[in-house]
Amino acid sequence: MKDSYLSAKLVKEDTIRLVVFSSLPWSKIEPWLVVDGVKTKILHPFKMSSMPSLAMIDYKLDKPLELGHSYNLEIYGRGCLGVDVSEATTFPGFDEKYYYDGDDLGATYSKEQTTFALWAPLASRVQLAYRDHKGDHFSYVTMDRTDKGVYRATLKGDHENAAYVYWVYNSETVALCTDPYAKGSTQNGEQSVVINFKRLEGIDLHKEALPVLNQATDAIIYEAHVRDMTIDESTDIVHKGTFAGLAEKGRKTLKGNPAGFDYIKSLGITHLQLLPIYDYRTVDEKNPDASYNWGYDPWQYFVPEGSYASVLDDPLSRIVDLKKMVAAYHEEGIRIVMDVVFNHVYEYEGSVFERVVPNYYFRHRHNGTMANTSGCGNDLASERPMVRKLIVDACQFWAKTYGIDGFRFDLMGIIDVKTLTQIKDKVRAIDKSFILYGEGWNMGGEVKEPLGHMGNYKLLPDFGFFNDHYRETAKNYFTEDYSQMQPFKHAYASSSVNFIEGAKFLNANQSINYVECHDNATFFDFVSKRRSDLPLKDRLDIVKLANASILLSFGVPFIHAGQEIGATKYGEENTYNKGDHYNKFSYKLLDERIDMVNYFRDYAHFRKGLGALHLYDPRAIDESVDIRDVGTCIRVSFLNKDVIAPRRDLQFFINPSHATYKYVMDSPYEVILDKNGASSKEEASGVVEIPPVSVLVIEGK
């Protein structure tokens, strides 16, 4: 047999194909079809193709093969050969026949019993293996196959914190699997854990303390990573690198400045966006200091990341710590945005999805190979009903259970519009102020359905998009590329106004304005590379100018942690796995540049108090604002005085040049904000001097 290879596959609902690769002579093959271990009938070829060393033989069945049974071909002289049924996921009508819309997938706990439900329509058998809390040995239960290919089991009695896995039998092979809908986990996702969420209801999420978000332009978003914000040795944060550490109050830097929670609270932001906090793969949860990752390698979509737990080997710790962290920020009026990755998983071959339902959860090219639009080896097939259901269910779970207030979608342009719209409907039913935005790059795809990229902005009116037009024009204009001055004015007005260029968005709520995020170089590093001729102070002035300009722009301001103090990644651009040295928030640098922090706070406070900057209707922006040139500066003034009331007149000047510009005022004025932040507000008259590399805000009297 070492010179032969045989495989059997269900290629149509009623057709099994036997493929024979052999250097040995072979004759007509008429195997027995063995169903659940019982010989049922002899199959006769109805179609055969052959060439030297290769033959393909098709066997027509009397009726479509019914999934949920064991199928083998018993071939005389060759033994039994399992029939691969995974191609059934592509047959017409599969989704309609097996779509399950129930809300009980996973483990559902009560003190009297725990029920388990697993969607595995291809499987011929599923066993539940479980061990109760602190138990040494697993017990086994054969699950019942029910409607829509859902396998079920019920354990009587109290099984809180029980660990469990599934043995799933697909196409005569068995795979050890965790639960795709698991809400709890042992370390490194080795086993799923039954969680009693009623025990956690005493943790008040303080949703009542959150101001209503009338429109996305009310937000100031600050992007951070749990470990990065707490790991620096220059603070007295106790639980470094954890959810608990990010919620510790009263912590200080070496020079007595606020650190961690108190620092974030002090900035005047409205939303803290956290890089992935679901369970991801490439950090060892038993030894989190041994490796580093941002978390864009999803492993369990309903489970918090275990390396962020204060007690690493306690499955409840990560859950309790996360809820308490969210509650702490809510008490201060700060909403939590969760960075979610529903475009790919860490690796599809070993993923729970491929193990439980092979050939279903991932997109394939027309030639059958894996789609790789994400660049990560696989693309989740969000358009398939049960994949869509899992994604929507996960989003609803995070919003309900953990009080998450927004989602930032990684590579949103790969996710289909229908899935995104369903997510919006579910989470907005929980919280009308829920914010939704993502990376809208048009990366193509292997599906015909519309996807969530910027080109489809009209199909996603409730979603924001990272505005790369703003990013690129701002970065270039702020480093004195004046060819980008006019395009930047269009971006400044949220890219939704037909001004200089055509509108790219429906309104300003869709424009996420930024110059830096976790990806690519920090803005300070970009400036240092582009303008290496400038001394440090001048480069930091450019950073301050960019931060102030973002906060004064129409749209949604987005700031990456450390951007406010000119943080560096030492010239590295992609630091997703490069460790604390490149990624941590430096509180030592904060102590050295506290003036930049104060500057940022002043502009954030000003933005929050000025209703004009919260305008989102492009017609209102167009009618209210006049944007003109003063040399290579930009001057913004307000034509509609109602939107700046009770102020009488406001003008902004953005000057990225190293020249001082002068502007003649018709009336006295007062400097509200200058290159140092809050001013003395002394009244002046006549000529306004606009200092080099600065933003100036004045109020006419």
Question: Pick the catalytic residue: 410, 462, 564, 699?
Answer: 410
* pLDDT band per the 50, 70, 90 thresholds, residue 151: very high
- 187-208 pLDDT, tens digit each: 999 999 999 999 999 999 999 9
pLDDT of residue 24: 66
pLDDT of residue 2: 60
pLDDT of residue 358: 97
Residue 1 has pLDDT above 70, yes or no: no
Residue 640 has pLDDT above 60, yes or no: yes
pLDDT of residue 52: 80
pLDDT of residue 27: 73
- CA dihedral 637→643→646→651, nearest 10 degrees, is -10
Q: What percent of the chain is predicted at pLDDT more than 90?
A: 90
**Active site annotation includes 439:** yes
Joined together, the tokens standing for residue 272 give 């803290």
Mean pLDDT of 650-663: 96
pLDDT of residue 258: 98
Mean pLDDT of 458-464: 98
- 101-113 pLDDT, tens digit each: 999 999 999 999 9
Q: Is there a cis peptide before residue 211, judged by omega within 30 degrees of 0? A: no
Domain with CATH 2.60.40.2320 in the chain: 4-84
* pLDDT band per the 50, 70, 90 thresholds, residue 648: confident
Answer yes or no: are the C-beta atoms of 628 and 654 closer than 8 Å. no
Joined together, the tokens standing for residue 213 give 């978000």
- 65-124 pLDDT, tens digit each: 999 999 999 998 788 999 999 999 999 999 999 999 999 999 999 999 999 999 999 999
Mean pLDDT of 506-531: 98
pLDDT of residue 248: 98
pLDDT of residue 322: 98
Answer yes or no: are the C-beta atoms of 308 and 318 closer than 8 Å. yes
Domain with CATH 2.60.40.1180 in the chain: 621-700
pLDDT of residue 25: 65
Residue 135 has pLDDT above 80, yes or no: no
Answer yes or no: are the C-beta atoms of 289 and 617 closer than 8 Å. no
Q: Which of 305, 302, 420, 293 is nearest to 352 (CA)?
A: 302
Other residues' Cβ atoms within 10 Å of the Cβ of residue 443 = 16
Residue 527 has pLDDT above 70, yes or no: yes
Mean pLDDT of 497-503: 93
Q: State the DSSP H helix or E strand holding residue 137, giving kind and residue range, or none if neither.
A: none
pLDDT of residue 444: 81
* pLDDT band per the 50, 70, 90 thresholds, residue 584: very high
Mean pLDDT of 649-660: 96
Q: Which of 614, 645, 607, 610 is nearest to 215 (CA)?
A: 614
Question: Pick the catalytic residue: 132, 218, 321, 439?
Answer: 439
Domain with CATH 2.60.40.10 in the chain: 94-177
Vertex 318 angle, CA 316 and 320, to 5°:
65
Say whether domain 621-700 belongs to CATH 3.90.76.10: no
pTM of the entire structure? 0.97
Answer yes or no: are the C-beta atoms of 604 and 552 closer than 8 Å. no
Instruction: Report the CATH number of the 94-177 domain.
Output: 2.60.40.10
Residue 681 has pLDDT above 80, yes or no: no
pLDDT of residue 445: 74
* pLDDT band per the 50, 70, 90 thresholds, residue 155: very high
**Active site annotation includes 410:** yes
Residue 323 has pLDDT above 90, yes or no: yes
pLDDT of residue 589: 98
Place of tokens 């193990």: 355
Residue 644 has pLDDT above 60, yes or no: yes
HEC profile of 611-657:
HHHHCCCHHHHHHHEEEEEECCEEEEEECCHHHHCCCCCEEEEEECC
Q: Which of 326, 390, 395 is nearest to 362 (CA)?
A: 390
Looking at CATH, the fold of the domain delimited by 4-84 is given as Immunoglobulin-like (2.60.40)
